Structure 1
């Protein structure tokens, strides 16, 4: 079995194509790489699937019996944004490919394509998905930390990240400098911030 250390072992590749021979051949290719594959014959069948919280991508045919591949891309762009799309088609044209790529597709392949080209595209897509999921998890952790702050700690944090000194913060909030220092320490601890620049970066991500 080929070694793909750059791709998470739990990566999942969805294959949506109404041609069973294409579904089976792509599924076999994906599984040979050691990745998980799930096939669907239509966009509606795909939409009925539960999407696990693992790095994933979608190998999607343009021409489908219900929703087209482009319609499905529009449908999932918001709630499944961490799932990159690789379009495959036997009837590619420039306007269609441009629309797909502008909407965020990572690749647009015209049949027949080589196994290496598809695997390279899937590897790239899974990498994008893993990075997006990690970023989402990191942001959620920051939000959870921020939600643990008291009202006063949030007020202190808001002034700290824009550059106010402890003395200035105390004057603005009507509290002593010692109290500001105590709140500031609590903010750093609860936010798990290693430094002031780290805290400023967290504040920026929250905005």
Structure 2
């Protein structure tokens, strides 16, 4: 494969050290990388950029990653987005996926986790069907969940932590962990992001305001 045939990653991160280290790692893994120092400069150049996958940091000055993603949607950008979030920042990750991000990766990220997320994003880019799962297939999987497992999934869709879900449902955090593990097993997934994609594909919107 010559250089131009390699898949292109647009890395948008204000941290110069991360841009340097991540670019080096991704190039070794067979990607081309174009770096952008912040979201504003990336959007300024968007119309002239070659199509690829966007690796987008959330915490940036001038314009954060969620705002950048909102603007990408407004412009009809078709490039898939993988978001880099802070460790344990579930609510931000959920917001990003609701806005259309393919996946999220927590910092500090493991190399293989990041490569897997990018691989999935490029599979989406190359697919005519941008949905990970058709609505009917997603609904079929959710039908296997118990009512309480659906309660927990709704809480996750709302971006709540295990503790917050436990408080809302008046159960222990440990019980939430068990339900969460069970629902992921029934859905056949191994990550929160994969669970959320199924929920979104089926039209799950979380709890209505003020009630579980």
Tell me if both proteins adopt one fold, taking TM over 0.5 as the criterion: yes
User: Is 1:107–2:87 an aligned residue pair?
Assistant: no
Cα deviation for residue 91 of structure 1 reads: 5.1
Alignment of 1:74-93 (within 5 A): 74-90=70-86, 92-93=88-89
Cα deviation for residue 30 of structure 1 reads: 1.4
Could you tell me whether the CA contact under 8 Å between 1:59 and 1:87 is conserved in 2?
Answer: yes
1:38 maps to 34
Q: 1 CA distance for matches of 2:129 and 2:78? A: 6
Three-state SS of the structure 2 residue aligned to 1:66 is coil
Closer, same or farther in 2 for the Cα pair 1:80/1:34, shift >3 Å? farther
Closer, same or farther in 2 for the Cα pair 1:132/1:40, shift >3 Å? farther
User: Is 1:126–2:119 an aligned residue pair?
Assistant: no
- For normalisation by structure 2, the TM-score amounts to 0.54
Closer, same or farther in 2 for the Cα pair 1:9/1:133, shift >3 Å? farther
Alignment of 1:22-101 (within 5 A): 22-49=18-45, 50-52=48-50, 54=51, 56-90=52-86, 92-101=88-97
Could you tell me whether the CA contact under 8 Å between 1:18 and 1:41 is conserved in 2?
Answer: yes
Cα deviation for residue 92 of structure 1 reads: 4.5
Q: 1 CA distance for matches of 2:40 and 2:103? A: 22
Unaligned runs of 5+ in 1: 135-207
Q: 2 CA distance for matches of 1:125 and 1:43? A: 19
Q: 2 CA distance for matches of 1:72 and 1:121? A: 19
Could you list the per-position Cα deviations for residues 42-92 of structure 1 after superposition, in whole angstroms to 9, with x for gaps in the alignment? 11111122222x4x1111111111111000000001435321111112354
Cα deviation for residue 131 of structure 1 reads: 2.0
1:189 maps to none
- Name which of structure 1's ranges 23-32 and 72-81 shifts more when overlaid on structure 2: 72-81
Cα deviation for residue 36 of structure 1 reads: 1.0
Three-state SS of the structure 2 residue aligned to 1:131 is coil
Unaligned runs of 5+ in 2: 131-212
Size of the aligned set, in residue pairs, is: 126
- For normalisation by structure 1, the TM-score amounts to 0.55
Alignment of 1:157-196 (within 5 A): none
User: Is 1:12–2:8 an aligned residue pair?
Assistant: yes
Choose 1 or 2 for highest CA Rg: 1
